[in-house]
Structure 1
Amino acid sequence: MTSAVKGDAVRFAQGSSWSMTLDASWPLTVALHIRDALSLPATRPFFVPPVVPKVPERIPVIGPTSDIALADEWSIWFADLVRSRAGMQSPDELLLEGRHPMFQEAVQGCLLAGQSAAEQFKLDFHEDFVRSMKKQAGIPARIVRGAEKDLGREAPPFELVVRVVPVAGEWLYRHSPSVSLISSAAFLNPAAQRRLLEPVLRDLV
């Protein structure tokens, strides 16, 4: 699990034909920290709850028209980060090159704080995960085995990537059949993890 702190996704669960990879996402955490610092909408490109702990606002003075443009640019950026499945702790993984100059200028004012918060989140999540590993490590495998038993067959080959972010509440968003985002609070709570991941895994089986 040490590699997770460095930014690599790690295989959390697997069977003979399937695997589930876990990633405490550094790039997504940086982006969400910046969203909240700039007081941008939490509903685009899809709803993601606010970051915890609460991020101090650092609202640039750019006017209402530019506010809309900034929110649009952030939404496009975040969607690109989710699609890229980037995970390493590197500025290159943030995919900021070529973005609108107004957006880059606004981001720069929050970037260092966002990177620091994301690094701390990865460290904290790793420690919490290790402490609670015995309670939760077998949950995905039990879900898949239960689905296999109900269906009377082995699961087809699949890989599920679960990207963990430090947002409020017990939340999961299924971005695609193979990629889901989940709050750290939900993932570290065995009951919530099972409740939220079971529909995702059963659909893949």
Structure 2
Amino acid sequence: MNIEIWITFVMACFVLAISPGAGAVNTMAITMKHGIRRGAVAIAGLQVGNANNIVLVGAGLGALLAQSDVAFSVVKWVGVAYLIYLGIQKCRDTGDGSFSPEKNEPIGARKLFFQSVIVNVTNPKGVVFLVALLPQFISPNGSYLHQMLILGGTLLVIDTIVMVGYALLATKVAHLVQNAHHMKVMNRLFGGLFIGAGSLLAATSRS
């Protein structure tokens, strides 16, 4: 693969990853409440979801999602419902009156992992974006599989780096949540962000 093409793809991936979305909200919310280790679990889940979407696009199934109103709508509304559900749960969460991952009610890593996987898998707009993006960087003269592995691996690495950045940011501002009122405000903030992400997804179309 031409190095100039790859560098352009890297820049596009950074723009995509840095743009705040459900993945960033999910990472920060989990890190602030449960600590950096659980945040790392959430990031791993997001990347499994991303990898799933890349495989769908590589296998040609992403094109079906991009072209079929029915398929797109089904996945979209499942995603909308799930994000709003997460938002409502977050708004209802009162915490224990202070921020401390050790003091918060323990939650299984598996649950957080699969929650994060679902956040990305149920975002058809991300798949459609990949359908539009990846072909622009695929050379017809090279191995399709080889190029998809390079592009897909690059996207996963960059998204992981950016999500780690969001998680570290969350640890830096976590000290601001030191009492019941602050915890309640934080939970409602993240709950509102999840609901907002769901609302934005609801307003999206295939175009």
TM over 0.5: no
The structure where strand makes up a greater share of residues is 1
Task: Give the structure, 1 or 2, with the largest relative contact order (CA under 8 Å, sep 6 or more).
Answer: 2
Normalising by the residue count of structure 2, what TM-score does the alignment of the two structures yield?
0.30
